[in-house]
Amino acid sequence: MAERRNEEETNMVKRDYEKEYRDYSGTPEQIKRRAQRNQARHEAIKAGKVKKGDGKEVDHVNAPRTGSLDGVPTRVISKTANRKRQPKRT
């Protein structure tokens, strides 16, 4: 069993996190969207809807796939429910 695990580890390609950041996460549009998500979470914390470590996430209802999240209504749902729900793909 240990031999098989070693074979699998040698066949795996290492993930290039720097490239991911350069190509996607570091783009100005994604930086703005991340800041908007963080701000929505902060506002929910101030309102007492969520707190650190409670297993809840702030979900943007009918959020656009691209562009700004300003003005998009939010709701608090469980982490499990948020990860299960997938956006409609067009």
DSSP string, 2-28: HHHHHHHHHHSPPP-HHHHIIIIITSH
Within 10 A of 45 (CB to CB), how many other CB atoms are there? 14
Asked if the structure places residue 56 within a domain, the reply is yes
* pLDDT level of residue 54 (50, 70, 90 thresholds): very high
Asked if the structure places residue 44 within a domain, the reply is yes
pLDDT, tens digit (0-9, with 9 covering 90-100), for 3-51: 666 666 667 899 999 999 999 999 999 999 999 999 999 999 999 999 9
Domain that holds residue 70: 2-84
Asked if the structure places residue 20 within a domain, the reply is yes
* pLDDT level of residue 66 (50, 70, 90 thresholds): confident
Asked if the structure places residue 90 within a domain, the reply is no
Count of structural domains, the chain:
1
Q: Give residues with Cβ within 8 angstroms of 78, minimum separation 6.
A: 55, 56, 57
**Cα atoms found within 13 Å of the Cα of residue 19, Cβ hemisphere only:** 3
Asked if the structure places residue 89 within a domain, the reply is no
Asked if the structure places residue 48 within a domain, the reply is yes
Q: What is the pLDDT of residue 58?
A: 93
Asked if the structure places residue 53 within a domain, the reply is yes
Look at the alpha carbons of 55, 59, 65, 69 in this order and tell me if their dihedral is positive or negative.
negative
Asked if the structure places residue 27 within a domain, the reply is yes
* pLDDT level of residue 63 (50, 70, 90 thresholds): confident
